[in-house]
Structure 1
Amino acid sequence: MARFLVIFLALLAVLFTVEMLEPVQRHLVQPFTASLADISAALIMPFDEQVTTSGRVLRHTGNHFAVSIEAGCNGVEAAIVLIAAVIAFPARWLQKLGAIAIGFLAIQVMNILRIISLFYLGMWNTEVFTWTHLYLWPVLIMLDVLVVFLLYLRVVNREAVPA
C-alpha cells in the first residue's frame, strides 16, 4: 500500500506539472478542449439548431447564453488521477493501457454529458447552474474515476487469482 501511495503521488506531481506546461496546453489541452465543445454541439444540434461553437465556447444563438470549457472542466485532471492510480497499481502493462483507454473514454463521455447539462441548466437557472457546476458535477466526475479504478482492480485481481 505504501508503494502504491508513493508512486501514485509522484505520478500525480509529474503529470500535473507536465499538463501545466505552456506547449502542452497550447498543442494538446486547448485543442482537446475545443474538440469537447465541438462534440457537445454536434450532439445537441439534431435537437437544437441554435447552437454554435468557437474554440472552447459553446453558444446558443437564440438567447446568446454561452459556456466556456476551461481548465478543470475538460476532464483532463480527472484522467490524470486515473492514469496515476492505474500505473501505480501493480499489473501487466496491457491491463494498464486498457484501463487507461477505457477510463479516459468513460470520463469524457461523462464530461460531455456534464457540458451539455450545464449548458442547458445555465440557460434555465444560473443559481442551479452554479451549484451543479461547482459541487455536483465535480463529485460525479471523480466518482466516475473511482468506479473505473475499482472495476480495473476487480479485473486485475480476478486475472491474478487462479480459478
Structure 2
Amino acid sequence: MVYVLLTSEQKMDEFNLKQFVGTQNTAHEVLQKLLPVIKESRSVQLRDCGVTDEGCAALASALRSNPSHLREMDLTGNEMGVSGLNLLSDELKDLHCRLEKLQLRDCGVTDEGCAALASALRSNPSHLRYLDLSGNKLGASGVKLLSDLKDDPHYKPEMLDFKMLV
C-alpha cells in the first residue's frame, strides 16, 4: 500500500521510484495513486518500474494537467507500447509542455513509436533538449527520422541519442 501526503504549498523537485517490483497492474495502481505527487514534481524517475501503456496514460495525464512544471522524465527500462508512446507524444506537442529531458532507454521503442516522437518534436521544437532512445528496437526508418530531426534547423537538441540494439 502506498501513502503520500502532499499539501498545496509543497512541491517536489524530484520524484524517484526505481526498480519497483510488482505486477503490471500493481505498477499502474501505484502510478495512479502517486499521480498528485508526480504532477507537482519537476523531475520524475521511474526506471525499471513496469510502466506500460496504462502507466504512460497516467504520465500523459500529469503532463496535460501541469505542462509547464515537469522538466525531466526518465522511463528507462520500461516496456512501453506504441499507444503509450503516442499518448506521451501527444502531450509533447502541446506548446505549453516544458519537458526538457526525456530518457526512454531500453523501452522497446520501435520505428512507429519513433515516428510519433519525431512528429511531436517537430510540432514543439523549442523545449525538449535531451532525448535518449538508446538500446531500443529502431530500424532504418526510425534512425532516418531521428537523423533528419538532428539536421532540422528548428530543432537543436543538446543530445539526441539513438544507438540501435545490435
Superposition TM-score, scaled by structure 2 size: 0.21
Superposition TM-score, scaled by structure 1 size: 0.21
Greater strand content:
2
Greater helix content:
1
- Structure of greater relative contact order (alpha carbons < 8 Å, 6+ residues apart): 1
